[in-house]
Amino acid sequence: MTFISYAQNYEDVILYRALGDIGAGFYIDVGAQDPVVDSVTKAFYERGWRGINIEPIDYWFNKLIADRPQDQNLKVAAAAENGILQFYEVVDTGMSTFNATFASKHSLAGFTIRECQVPARRLDKICDELNVTVVHFLKIDVEGAERAVLAGIDLTRIRPWVILLESTEPNSTVPTYEQWEDLLTSRGYEFACFDGLNRYYLADERKAPLKEILSKPPNYFDHFIRHSEWLAGQQVQKLEAEATRTQKRVEELENEVAKLQIESGDLREKLKIIQEHVACLEKSLFESRVDLQVVEKELAEAKKMASHFRQSLEVRELELKAVYSSLSWRITEPLRRANLFVKQSVRTIEKR
């Protein structure tokens, strides 16, 4: 199984090479900061280890609570004595410190400094309260407060197998180990190696099997990959999966387009037939309109002639009425009747 390294300087690779066979071990992380980014303990937590995370800054402490629910997360500082200490938070960094000189340098460099007071606890008192007796490694990253942290743990009772401390001034190669190393070497710990940033110390009773293992820098045979590289690989896999899905969708769309093109050809043919039929209907309609106009014209002329005939008839009727009403018509009425009688008698004789 490939080891994913989260630590800034591959500290977790070195520690896991030395302590990985333990299984579910125990750690203490003083100055834990982010539970994932640059974390020395994240890889161990993923493999079943549990421990204590010491972090006095609210922002980082809340992230630890969210990511490490099975660890003991304490919002305190580790110090030589229990109490309240002046603290300088270098906002959004891992450089917060109890050292006013370091804080001033960070401020001059453009960082935002937030002064506050934080509770401080001795490490051995914390271990006693949590019934911790075995610590496989103790990691200390406290930006200048290393001596105070070491002074707060009774190394005759609580003996971490490995202790590693950041041993240079912040963002510098200037060594600081001479300020606190005596608190280790005088209490049964021996220097094992320096990785360019941290110094590793081994309990005398553990150095025989572990010193040689710790002496080698991270290498090919540790079979590890940086967390950032793992994330990049995950992103590549995600993009490849999306590309596969996209390609499949493109093929589906191409098939749909081809089908629609065939259907479109059929529809164009049907449209052509419909258009031809419409043209025929329009022609018939035009011809019908022409015929209608002719009929309407003839009807108008017939109506005109009928009107003329009605007028002529009315004139004749008036003339006839006038004749019937005239004096001469009345005087000659007996004559017309006699004439009619003679005509009827002649027709009767002829029939005989």
Which of 206, 212, 125, 216 minimizes the C-alpha distance to 162?
Answer: 206
What is d(CA 20, CA 8) in angstroms, rounded to the nearest whole number?
Answer: 19
CB 181 within 8 A of CB 193: no
Radius of gyration of the chain (CA): 57
Q: Are strands 26-30 and 50-54 parallel, antiparallel or unpaired?
A: parallel
The identity of residue 279, as a single letter, is A
Which of 147, 133, 145 minimizes the C-alpha distance to 77?
Answer: 145
What is d(CA 102, CA 143) in angstroms, rounded to the nearest whole number?
Answer: 8
- pLDDT tens track, the chain, 352 positions: 789 999 999 999 999 999 999 989 999 999 999 999 999 999 999 999 999 999 999 999 999 999 999 999 999 999 999 999 988 888 888 888 887 888 888 888 888 988 889 999 999 999 999 999 999 999 999 988 999 999 999 999 999 999 999 999 888 899 999 999 999 999 999 999 999 999 999 999 998 889 999 999 999 999 999 999 999 998 898 999 888 898 889 888 888 888 888 988 888 888 888 888 888 888 888 887 877 787 788 778 768 876 776 787 777 778 777 766 777 767 777 777 777 776 777 677 767 6
Residues in the chain: 352
What is d(CA 296, CA 290) in angstroms, rounded to the nearest whole number?
Answer: 10
Eight-class DSSP state of 20: G
The identity of residue 106, as a single letter, is H
Structure-block tokens of residue 335: 């004559």
What is d(CA 117, CA 87) in angstroms, rounded to the nearest whole number?
Answer: 6
pTM for the full model?
0.71
- If phi over 0 gives left and psi between -120 and 50 gives alpha, with beta otherwise, what is residue 237? alpha
Q: What is the largest CA-CA distance in the chain?
A: 183
* Cβ burial, residue 46 (10 Å; 0-12/13-18/19+): exposed
The gap between the terminal CA atoms of the chain, to the nearest Å, is: 149
